[in-house]
Structure 1
Amino acid sequence: MADQHDDPTRPGATPDLADLQHWTWVMGRAQQMMMEQGLGLIEASKAAPGAAATPFANPALVRQAQDFWQENIALWQRLVDPAAAVPPPPQSEGDARDRRFKAAAWREDPWFDWIRRSYNLIADHMLRGVDALDGVPEKQKEQLRFAARGLVDAMSPSNFAMTNPEVVEKTIETRGQNLLDGLKHMLADIGKGQLTHTAEGAFEVGRNLATTPGKVVKRTPLYELIQYTPTTERVGTIPLVIFPPWINRFYILDLTPEKSFIRWAVEQGITVFMVSWKSADASLKDVVWDDYIAAQVDAIDTVRGVLDVPAVHTVGYCVAGTTLAATLALLAARGEASRVASATFFTAQVDFAQAGELQHFVTDDQLALIGTLSPQGFLDGRYMALTFNLLRGRDLIWNYVTNNYLLGSDYAPFDLLHWNGDTTNLPAKWHLSYLTDLYRDNLLVQPGAMSVAGEALDLTRVTTPAYVQAGREDHIAPAESVWKITHLFQGPLRFVLAGSGHIAGVVNPPAAGKYQYWTNESGATTLADFVAGATETKGSWWPDWLGWLRGVSAEDVVAEGARLPGEGALPALGEAPGEYVRAR
């Protein structure tokens, strides 16, 4: 067997003269081909008749083509003759933070350094090429940018075994065992039809997730109502009803005890009720948006009745926040707005004109495709999981392809990613109408354009005190989009901009000491003005919300009788977290 130091295919091996001659010829021929192609494109741009019909009639694209080929030739020159080549430009801050290329070999090994720089050059010019397009509507250009970013992330050399130095080194070190381990991971994911993000068996609902003590006090075909056990002698007079998004399991607000918003709220002396939505099956095939609004009204009235109180506080997270806004409009139309003492919105949108990258999935073709995916009347939650993964493909797809398929690494336990993969099925009729009526046609902000139970909805009639929280880096419900609710509601409103995104910006317990939030007491009319005049506070926004809630009502009562789950008019049906959260 030849010594590994003599193997010219091994990274870092010293090639002999014949190898040098061969690769010099390859590089020289490649350089010649690129020069010929680049010069041809530039000459084509100068053609007189018919030039306007080509994309290279655009001066910006001409300059970009010239830049691309010049920079590409410079890369080849640095690889062939580093001493004579022009030094490379300093890496940008973005390049320095790119975790895909954190290994030293990406910069210290000339071959992999060239691969990395070539990829970054191509990626940069692909994205710049979209920006340089003339005559393309901005909405279509945004779709092209999204598609280009997805393609750029997919073609990264870190995603392929032979162009990733860490994978090459690992393969040599383990004699290929990493690839076999990775294949095992990949086949398991293919078998379940879903990408794995965290260690199997590390988490279980009711064991180390969703463990806040409480009882199920009501069960309908669409939801369970959970009442949590008080831990203080006295509790606020007005109870809190939380509506989580039905596209995910409710325990995002009741993760491990140290991260649980529910547990924290109970510890602050709040009587907390949680709605746990049922994952759709064929029995829910006729459920529409009106049914979710009716369910919210029913939960509100149930809590009012069992505790004998005139009103409740409410929280709506994401799509359930959108529905909560519609619920408030419905109650206002009926003259029943007083049933809700306050409404809190976690990263919720009502105006979808700037709804972010999810709008790329509501084209007519996409909607037609979605309609074919639900033959039994419900949409498999794995499709939605894939959609959200695509929004952050680099982190939620390709990172795992590299680490778990190519390097063969075991999965790390992570409660948030366990929840992320705990998919929920959706009623197909409701899901399609939601995408069409809200994301595509933006009907909710048009007074009277949508009706529920025979009542026309008008958000400008809502006067309920509202607390609106947005995430500064939210890619699902962009802060600019969430802000628009401030132009619609007519009652007292507090807007808070939290650090981080759609999940971490919400699930940020005070004890963690992470992130920050911004407030502005000057009455800004735009988000930009809000940010410009905002005051930054380190840590969680939860205490700010608690202070606001107590400002609405500071009265309290003894935590006894109906304040104890199962001790009121509704007997306990089982222990929290209930049955629906476990149903698949």
Structure 2
Amino acid sequence: MDQDFTKTLSDMMQTAARTHPVFKGMDTDGHQQFVDSWNQAAQSMLGSSSWGDWLKTWSSYQADMAQLWMSGMAGGAQPTKDRRFGDEAWNEGIYPFLRQSYEMTARAMVDLADKAGLAEHEQRKLSFYARVAADSLSPSNFALMNPEVLKLAQETGGKSLVDGFQNMLADLEKGYITTTDESAFKVGENLATTPGAVIYRNALIEVIQYEPVTPKVRANPILVVPPCVNKFYIFDINEKKSMVRYLLDEGNSVFMISWRNAGEETRDYGWDEYITEGVLAAIDATADVAKAEKLDLLSWCNGGTLLLAALAVMPQAQKSLVGSATFLSAMLDFSDPGEVEVFIDDAQIAAYKQRLDTAKVAPGRDIARAMAMLHVNESIWGFVVNNYLKGKTPPPFDVLYWNADTSNLPAKWYSYFVEEMYHGNRLKEPGALTLLNTPVECRNIDVPCYFLAATGDHIVPWKTSYSSTTLLPQQAEFVLTSGGHVSGTVINHPVKNRRHFMAGGDRSGSAEDWLASATKSEGSWWPHWLQWLDETSGDTLRTAPRTLGNRKHPVLAPAPGTYVLEQVPQDG
């Protein structure tokens, strides 16, 4: 392969990645990752058999562009299914030609990256960043190339552009893109409104006990272990979507951990503290207040991984209190961590350590930006176009408000999670990790377990969740719901539900074998889970408590508590 031509292609890709200033601002490290991966790909092509595939793609691209020029002069252009160009304005004048030339260039750019022939991780990373860079170059992202923007500016006498500039300045000041009308929500007023009280508090957590709504309740209370990277109130987002309210309506006692946003007090905490002062402390407080011999644990995302680790090293005093453990979109096996894998390798971990050393925490905004990169058009560019180029205010959306209400993680906790679990995949290896001065052994997790995965989850692939169940000493229940990481799990109320779930498959084989043998049921998985709890952990009822807390754990504050409202810097 000609080195001058390789350099030309490399320079072209690097220039494309740098072109859009807003993209560069959204991800300061992503551009360099793309450049590094592309340079590695270009060098690997020298003398490689993949050069033939590259040449075919490049030749095809040139031929298609030549054809477009000829057809464009004649006024013809192919239709598109890309929603970015769905408005009729893209079919008028020069815009069909502009749009189609971009689509051809973006496709060639991605195809060239996909055919680089790198090692698996480097190839996945290059392909990912090539798509991100290609998406950033869309003419819809530029005011002077977007006919919808120009038309709106003309209709409003330029007011839309002025409003958009003001929106951009406001977002630059606060440090992130506005995705919802934030003035429409307030935690404790129209979010997280289920009545309850904080009955336990330490430096790391508050435990909320919710008021029962039925005369009788299950003897085993449910303790929720939410992810510590997000606020707990996704489980109580509003009256119509709240999982907490549903569980109460179905006759359960519900307790909730509210993690403190990592700041001065907790920034030096690691996994040991999150287990002892978090999970174990909450178990003790819940069991004492509920006067329960057993309790059922419900976790989600990294709260599930934390609970798995805790169960593997849990002292007998707390373990004897656990009737069952449920894991929503949680991983024990990190062999395929989904799209997040593109951010995790030695070079990127080492680079981010400098950020951790300075900030002392993994800032919540950093984590939110990384997650947004996974779906850059929906999570970034769509809002850039509407907010800044069209001058519109996003409509109120409670889930997006919660998503923007980020939480820091202690640097020590974050590094251990990424290096030992995501990168090293050591949680599943017997004795490879040590927590609470105890070797972490998955075979010690001998309580009944329920794993719930979602078909559209881009953070925890469902097959990875399934593989985690095979590492436990006793057979676990596995259920697969339609929907995504949030929409299929904690937002899945049975009322007016259009989703479905799969359950009851043959657990002796692969994930594909399980799916082929599973039974499909329409609606939410929530009732199925409650039935499993009754059958597995007990359905004994007791009289609901008349008051919250007790003498040892008196009411400290009304729900949703104080920690969820603390204002902690999220940008490091």
Same fold (TM over 0.5): yes
Identity, % of aligned pairs? 36
The 5 Å alignment of 1:392-471 reads 392-471=375-454
Partner Cα distance (1:172, 1:322) in 2:
53
Q: Deviations over 1:366-388 (max 9, x none)?
A: 22333233435223211111111
Partner Cα distance (1:548, 1:520) in 2:
12
SS class of match (1:246): coil
Of 54, 57, 71, which residue of structure 2 is paired with 1:64?
Answer: 57
Q: Deviations over 1:431-470 (max 9, x none)?
A: 1221111111111011001111111111133221111111
Establish whether residue 498 from structure 1 lines up as the match of residue 498 from structure 2.
no
Establish whether residue 230 from structure 1 lines up as the match of residue 212 from structure 2.
yes
Establish whether residue 249 from structure 1 lines up as the match of residue 218 from structure 2.
no
What is the match of residue 41 of structure 1? none
What is the match of residue 270 of structure 1? 252
- The structural deviation recorded for 1:63 is 1.5
In structure 1, what residue type is equivalent to 2:46? A
SS class of match (1:409): coil
Of 67, 70, 75, which residue of structure 2 is paired with 1:77?
Answer: 70
RMSD: 2.1
What is the match of residue 322 of structure 2? 340
What is the match of residue 485 of structure 1? 468
What is the match of residue 161 of structure 2? 179
The 5 Å alignment of 1:290-439 reads 290-294=272-276, 295-331=278-314, 334=316, 337-374=319-356, 375-439=358-422
SS class of match (2:207): strand
In structure 1, what residue type is equivalent to 2:471? L
Q: Deviations over 1:473-532 (max 9, x none)?
A: 111111122112111112241111111111101111011313221123332522222222
SS class of match (1:306): helix
SS class of match (2:563): coil
Q: Deviations over 1:69-100 (max 9, x none)?
A: 111111111111247xxx84xx5xxx52x321
Residues 336 and 306 of structure 1, relative CA distance in 2, 3 Å threshold: closer
Q: Deviations over 1:287-341 (max 9, x none)?
A: 001111112012112212222322210011100100111111113x758643211
Establish whether residue 525 from structure 1 lines up as the match of residue 506 from structure 2.
no
SS class of match (2:320): helix
Partner Cα distance (1:260, 1:157) in 2:
40
Computing the radius of gyration over CA atoms, which structure comes out larger, 1 or 2?
1
- The structural deviation recorded for 1:365 is 3.1
Partner Cα distance (1:51, 1:147) in 2:
18
What is the match of residue 570 of structure 1? 553
Residues 124 and 312 of structure 1, relative CA distance in 2, 3 Å threshold: same
Q: Residues 228 and 272 of structure 1 are in contact (CA less than 8 Å); yes or no, is this contact kept in structure 2?
A: yes
Q: Residues 285 and 553 of structure 2 are in contact (CA less than 8 Å); yes or no, is this contact kept in structure 1?
A: no
SS class of match (1:314): strand
Q: Deviations over 1:157-194 (max 9, x none)?
A: 11111111101111121222111100100000000111
Higher mean C-alpha displacement, 550-559 vs 515-524: 515-524
Partner Cα distance (2:73, 2:412) in 1:
60
Q: Residues 282 and 377 of structure 1 are in contact (CA less than 8 Å); yes or no, is this contact kept in structure 2?
A: no
Partner Cα distance (1:261, 1:117) in 2:
45
Establish whether residue 544 from structure 1 lines up as the match of residue 537 from structure 2.
no
SS class of match (1:315): strand
The 5 Å alignment of 1:134-153 reads 134=117, 136-153=118-135
In structure 2, what residue type is equivalent to 1:367? I
What are structure 1's unaligned runs of at least 5 residues?
1-36, 39-49
What are structure 2's unaligned runs of at least 5 residues?
1-7, 10-42, 568-572
- The structural deviation recorded for 1:346 is 0.8
Partner Cα distance (1:546, 1:80) in 2:
64
- The structural deviation recorded for 1:574 is 0.9
Residues 401 and 353 of structure 1, relative CA distance in 2, 3 Å threshold: same
The 5 Å alignment of 1:551-562 reads 551-552=535-536, 553-560=538-545
Q: Residues 215 and 226 of structure 1 are in contact (CA less than 8 Å); yes or no, is this contact kept in structure 2?
A: yes
Equivalent residues, number: 523
Establish whether residue 509 from structure 1 lines up as the match of residue 502 from structure 2.
no
Higher mean C-alpha displacement, 382-391 vs 356-365: 356-365
Q: Residues 289 and 549 of structure 2 are in contact (CA less than 8 Å); yes or no, is this contact kept in structure 1?
A: no
In structure 2, what residue type is equivalent to 1:516? H
The 5 Å alignment of 1:24-43 reads none
SS class of match (1:517): strand
In structure 2, what residue type is equivalent to 1:525? G
Partner Cα distance (1:387, 1:508) in 2:
25
